[in-house]
């Protein structure tokens, strides 16, 4: 089995100074040589601070929360994949539900962002997930599979097999409502099947993370659910002590 993956999504928290302080505390609390992959995704302005503070802990990765669809140009306020890479990121989230719902990010844009990420040497982490209305109307699988296929559409099968997928039900993000381990396992199984259809049977080993109101109390049981290979954590990743405990769940 692959080492479980723990991704912290700090959203719009922790500027460079707070990010450095976080890393200084976290590395004291989180032992190295542990069989886990930990990735911190700060705001773009803090990528360099996080990556440089982690230079003595190269096993802990840094990721962007978002990149733009074009490699460069007149896109005021945006950050390209190559710029994130240059600042020290090795990963980027793509298609987070806040990007999709608050910033109208489309499926086509998620596909372009995945392509740009690979071009720049970043590994995209593609986020998918249904809203409460979609879940209640019975379209969870259709929505998740549409987002998955669209986001991965321009990648080669070999690239598809490398992309960690994060299943984050929108109704569980920042709400305190967590999917049960059973809910997560059911959707993860559907995603895994779709990945195998897209990229062959080796894609059965792809990493599929769960995200949405993960905390210290539920991390271990979600991680133990069948097919859950890691966790994507927002609010509970902001405190270094809490995050260090979640990463050892």
Residues catalogued as catalytic: 96, 168
Nearest-angstrom CA–CA distance, 57 and 7: 16
Question: Does residue 124 belong to the site contacting ligand PGA (CB under 6 A)?
Answer: no
Nearest to 212 by CA among 194, 200, 225, 198: 225
Q: Which stretch binds ligand PGA (CB under 6 A): 67-75, 143-151, 157-165, 231-239?
A: 231-239
Q: Which is nearer to ligand PGA, 84 or 232 (CB)?
A: 232
The single residue among 111, 125, 214, 246 that binds ligand PGA, judged by CB under 6 A, is: 214
Per the rule left: phi > 0, alpha: psi between -120 and 50, beta: everything else, 33 is left
Q: How many CA atoms lie within 13 A of 138 on its CB side?
A: 0
Nearest-angstrom CA–CA distance, 129 and 52: 32
Task: Give, as ranges, the residues between 4 and 43 that touch ligand PGA (CB under 6 A).
Answer: 9
The single residue among 196, 235, 239, 242 that binds ligand PGA, judged by CB under 6 A, is: 235
- Three-class DSSP category at 78: coil
Counting residues that bind ligand PGA (by CB under 6 A) gives: 13
Q: Which is nearer to ligand PGA, 60 or 125 (CB)?
A: 125
The single residue among 38, 126, 233, 247 that binds ligand PGA, judged by CB under 6 A, is: 233
The single residue among 48, 130, 168, 183 that binds ligand PGA, judged by CB under 6 A, is: 168
CB of 172 to ligand PGA, least distance (A): 6
The two beta strands, 230-233 and 60-64, are unpaired
Q: Which stretch binds ligand PGA (CB under 6 A): 30-38, 63-71, 118-126, 208-216?
A: 208-216
Question: Does residue 213 belong to the site contacting ligand PGA (CB under 6 A)?
Answer: yes
Question: Does residue 228 belong to the site contacting ligand PGA (CB under 6 A)?
Answer: no
Beta bridge partners of 209: 166, 230
Q: Which is nearer to ligand PGA, 22 or 203 (CB)?
A: 22
Nearest-angstrom CA–CA distance, 243 and 29: 9
Q: How many CA atoms lie within 13 A of 77 on its CB side?
A: 0
Nearest to 127 by CA among 159, 161, 163, 155: 163
Nearest-angstrom CA–CA distance, 84 and 231: 22
CB of 235 to ligand PGA, least distance (A): 4
Question: Does residue 230 belong to the site contacting ligand PGA (CB under 6 A)?
Answer: no
Binding site for ligand PGA (CB under 6 A): 9, 168, 173-174, 211-214, 232-236
């Amino acid at each position: 089995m692959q080492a479980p993956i723990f991704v912290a999504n700090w959203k719009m928290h922790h500027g460079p100074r707070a990010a450095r302080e976080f890393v200084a505390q976290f590395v004291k609390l989180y032992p190295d040589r542990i069989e886990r992959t930990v990735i911190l995704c700060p705001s773009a302005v803090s990528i360099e601070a996080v990556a440089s503070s982690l230079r003595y802990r190269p096993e802990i990765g840094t990721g962007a929360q978002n990149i733009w669809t074009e490699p460069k140009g007149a896109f005021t306020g945006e950050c390209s994949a190559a710029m994130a890479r240059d600042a020290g990121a090795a990963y980027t989230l793509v298609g987070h539900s806040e990007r999709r719902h608050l910033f109208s990010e489309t499926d086509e844009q998620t596909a372009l962002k995945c392509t740009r990420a690979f071009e720049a040497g970043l590994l995209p982490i593609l986020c998918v997930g249904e809203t409460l209305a979609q879940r209640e109307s019975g379209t969870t699988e259709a929505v998740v599979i549409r987002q998955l296929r669209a986001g991965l559409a321009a990648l080669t099968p070999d690239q598809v097999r490398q992309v960690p997928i994060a299943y984050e039900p929108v109704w569980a993000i920042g709400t305190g409502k967590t999917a049960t381990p059973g809910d997560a396992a059911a959707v993860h199984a559907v995603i895994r099947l779709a990945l195998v259809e897209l990229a062959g049977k080796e894609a059965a080993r792809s990493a599929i993370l769960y995200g949405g109101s993960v905390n210290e109390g539920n991390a271990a049981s979600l991680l133990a659910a069948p097919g859950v290979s890691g966790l994507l954590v927002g609010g509970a990743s902001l405190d270094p002590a809490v995050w260090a405990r979640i990463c050892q769940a």
